[in-house]
A and B are shown apart, each in its own frame.
Chain A
Amino acid sequence: MTDSQERWQRVNLALACFALDPAALGGIWLRARVGPVRDRVQKGVEIALQGQILRRLHPGIGDDALFGGIDLAATLAQGHVVRTRGILDENAVLLMPMAERVKAALAARLAGALDAGKGLALIAYDEGAEPEERLPQALADRLAIHLDLADQGLSDAPELALDQSALAAARLLLPHVTVPDHAICDVATVAARLGIRSLRAPLQALALARASAALMGETCVDHADLTLAVELVLAPRATQLPQEEQEAQEAPPDPPHPEEPEKAHEAQDQDQIDLPPLEMLIEAAKAILPPDLLARLQAGRAARQAPAANGSGAVKKGNRRGRPLPARPGRIGSEARVDLVATLRAAAPWQPMRRKATGKTDQLHIRMSDIRLRQFAETSDRAIIFVVDASGSAALARLGEAKGAIELLLGEAYARRDHVALIAFRGDGADVLLPPTRSLVQTKRRLVQLAGGGGTPLAAGLKAGLELALTAQGKGMTASVAILTDGRANVDLAGIANRTQAAADATAMARAIRARAIPALVIDTGIRPTQALASIASDLGAPYLALPRADARSLSAAVDASLNLA
């Protein structure tokens, strides 16, 4: 059997196990594009879950649909409050296509609903094309079964075999399935050695093993069940290749429960005969670890660090704050607020006619179509922080161009809501010459005073840039850092001339900036491009531009294009 066929069999087993006890398993995260393979899975889901309520969600679903809300049309027509039922109010299995587009807010609500233990389960169809596009971590952590069918061919994906009566029998058996204590130990150990930090995963693995045992008609979880649990639940979550036994065993025994390990050992001894050792489970996990595990981990990390995941200072397009816009017609939902005055104004002309039509003269007649919602527009200001090398090597000529570029950018700032800040580094440290500002007059005055000369404390400059960027983010601006230097860092953070230490400090600081997901740009103003500077740029995750003969205008254009924030 090929890998692909084996994978399809696992899908079959996963669906069957899930169908036995959807709530205990939390759900399935299925990564596959729309296509015949996914249609087969969907068909399998419908067969397996026959008799249970299936509900489709979309990633933009609002609170009124989730939790129930006022049925406004009925309420207004009948004169008393009519409520709609929310999707989360009943024990349904939720199906969510386009799960990679779920926002953090919806993910948090669904996670809360899944945690409440009211019998909900979620099948998330993740259609992400890039590794960075994926289901939010908060949800992925709560769905037991992770399947990746991105490369599954249709020829290896026949119709899923799911037998209703077998499932019904297994469902009856499920409450009687017991888990031996050594199985708990094994699952926990495998999870630890795969580097899975969340403690939900081993619990979900146990639930899956239990379902698998019931499916096989057994009342005790055995090795085959554990293997399946490791393959479906633990292996896809691995964050490291399994380490050697010794390392895992080095952890000191837990002092408060000295009797526990012994008990575990005893249990293991008794069952030694019919259960192969832990290593086989690890091997099973290894066998299906994705070959590009490391690449995926980095994608996950990058997705987490993307500016979109950062709540403070990111671009805000809300309808709750900012500059008011004219009210628009709409429905009462959770997001927007009703503009009462505009609503009444819209309803006013119709009052005599409605009074006549209904015969009720003592009340205000408001219909759905009268509802007006408030709108706000808020654009996030951007702050461009120039970190300029004013050392002896770079200074005089370059400094003039940097000054010119800043003036040019500021000239357009009024229209574009840009703030510009300037940090110069020279001698033994860096100075904030200009905090983020939009004042052209003030800027010109400060720029005139900027002097050059001395060593190149690149690390100090980066540090000052980072601090300023964080402050700007705290004020709700989108900050980016543009570094203009010729790249020969020769003064370290402590202000001491030491080339090796200076380079190390600069690298460390560049990584610190990258870790905070602040967009950056490195402009090499040296006569010849410097290798050291290119490597700093890659540490920053920033584009590297060599502009040996840049004038103010091309510099300004380069900054604009590279930071791409306009």
Chain B
Amino acid sequence: MKDVTLTGPFPFSAIVGQEDMKLAMILTAIDPGIGGVLVFGDRGTGKSTAVRGLAALLPPIHAVAGCPVNSAHLGEIPDWAQVNDTAIIEKPTPVIDLPLGATEDRVVGALDIEKALTRGEKAFEPGLLARANRGYLYIDEVNLLEDHLVDLLLDVAQSGRNVVEREGLSIRHAAHFVLVGSGNPEEGELRPQLLDRFGLSVDVTSPKDIDTRIEVIRRRDSYDRDPGGFLTEWRPADLALRAQVVAARDHLGQVAAGEPILRDCAALCLALGADGLRGELTLLRAARALAAFDQDLTVTRDHLRRVAASALRHRLRRDPLDEAGSTTRVTRIVEEVLA
């Protein structure tokens, strides 16, 4: 390992509490195929801190220096890109922010107006999706994003390809990223069709317990005052977690899920009345990633139990009078089915 970095975002392992959110993010880091994570909750609960911390925690990626889509090899560079610097360099896992109100042009990329007007060239200007390839795309206040943009993002996230057909351009490039959306449900909700396409969803609340709150503030304060010292202090914990994630990625292929587990998944989704089959698939994938994280060789009911709420809570039919929230419903059904 190289010398210890003295600047960086708040360390992931130093985040106090919020276990659900941290676990969901780690699972998508192990298996990006799980799909995005939706984090709904109060302001100032460390949602964006967690995303940034996670990306810094993950092992750096190797990419072609001048490539706009972070290609791993020269062969993967899309033909429209003019790459001058072909050295393979190590760079941190990209985390791209998608600001609210971003235009479609900025997101998917568009005709490069500068080149078109000044040089008369038809060139493609890559958008945020290109930069997010092989990393994370973070959208704060996803529930306030325009619907057609959310549609588009989820579609690209699922297919892993961004296709641009406009203004005489016909461009496609790889766009494999994990979508992390956050928002405050009091300000608007997502359509059920969109909710369903996020892999995992977690509710975060600010900690109710005074001592936890004090600990959060104490850590944040010492980070703000002496980032270098704080990062050095938490470096071992972050490295241990990174090693665990890397081991889990290698291990993922060997985790077996037996017939009874598949039956359990189906039974859970049936009992909850979750529409479609995406619930079962995500539940299984998340449970498998969790088993890999625990270095287990088989998926057990315990794994299912731990991921069920995150994988299924946003797929239930909404009941306008249910004040208890869907987490409680999922937990109750899980207890019944897996009794």
Interface set of A (CB-CB < 8 Å, partner B): 24, 70, 72, 75-76, 79-81, 103-109, 111-112, 115, 137-138, 141, 179, 181, 184-185, 187-189, 191-192, 197-203, 206, 248-249, 251-254, 257, 260-261, 264, 301, 304-305, 309-312, 316, 318, 320-321, 332, 334-335, 337-338, 340, 363-364, 366, 463, 466-467, 474, 476, 493, 508-509, 512-513, 516
Contact = CB atoms under 8 A, between A and B. Distances in A.
Contact of B215 (A189, A206, A254): A254
A254 B106 CA distance: 45
B13 to A, nearest CB: 13
A192 B213 contact: yes
B100 interface: yes
Contacts, number: 166
Contact of B213 (A179, A202, A513): A202
Contacts of B218: 181, 184
Interface string B180-193: 00001011111111
Interface of B: 42-46, 48, 97, 99-101, 103-106, 110-111, 113-114, 116-118, 120, 140-141, 143-148, 167, 184, 186-193, 205-206, 208-218, 220-221, 224, 320-321
Contact of A257 (B46, B145, B215): B215
B103 A320 contact: yes
8 contacts: A81-B118, A104-B144, A108-B140, A137-B184, A199-B45, A203-B217, A248-B210, A304-B186
Given A201-B44, A202-B217, A251 B120 contact: no
A103 B101 contact: yes
Contacts of B42: 197-198
B43 A137 contact: yes
Contact of B167 (A187, A188, A340): A340
A108 B101 contact: yes
Contacts of A192: 210, 213
Contact of A112 (B97, B145, B190, B224): B97
A474 B217 contact: no
Contacts of A334: 103, 106
Given A115-B48, A203-B224, A189 B320 contact: no
B103 A335 contact: yes
A509 B217 contact: no
A260 B144 contact: no
Contacts of B113: 70, 332, 338
Contact of A337 (B105, B211, B216): B105
A104 B144 CA distance: 8
B186 A198 contact: no
A261 B211 contact: yes
A251 B215 contact: no
Contacts of B188: 309-312
Contact of B211 (A106, A197, A254, A301): A254
B226 to A, nearest CB: 11
A364 B141 contact: no
Contacts of A109: 99-101
Which of A108, A466, A512 counts the most B-chain CB atoms under 10 A from its CB?
Answer: A108
A312 B43 contact: no
Contacts of A508: 321
B187 A185 contact: no
Nearest to A318: B146
A332 B140 CA distance: 26
A321 B104 CA distance: 10
A70 B103 CA distance: 17
Given A108-B101, A184-B217, 20 more contacts: A80-B118, A104-B101, A108-B99, A181-B218, A188-B214, A198-B42, A199-B206, A201-B44, A203-B217, A249-B210, A253-B209, A253-B211, A304-B186, A309-B144, A311-B146, A311-B147, A312-B143, A312-B191, A320-B103, A320-B104
Nearest to B320: A512
A81 B114 contact: yes
Nearest to B183: A311
Which 9 residue pairs spanning A and B have beta carbons closest together?
Answer: A105-B101, A198-B44, A108-B100, A512-B320, A200-B44, A310-B188, A311-B144, A188-B214, A254-B211
B217 A108 contact: no
B92 to A, nearest CB: 16
Nearest to A336: B103
A523 B144 CA distance: 33
Contacts of B206: 197-199
Nearest to A337: B105
Contacts of A185: 214
A206 B225 CA distance: 11
A309 B183 CA distance: 12
A318 B147 CA distance: 13
B211 A260 contact: yes
B211 A203 contact: no
Contacts of B190: 312
Nearest to B188: A310
A252 B213 contact: no
Nearest to B207: A199
A312 B48 CA distance: 23
A248 B43 CA distance: 21
A474 B103 CA distance: 21
Given A80-B118, A109-B99, A203 B220 contact: yes
A339 to B, nearest CB: 10
Contacts of B184: 137
A389 to B, nearest CB: 20
B101 A199 contact: no
Nearest to B100: A108
A24 B100 CA distance: 24
Contacts of B209: 251-254
B184 to A, nearest CB: 8
A304 B187 contact: yes
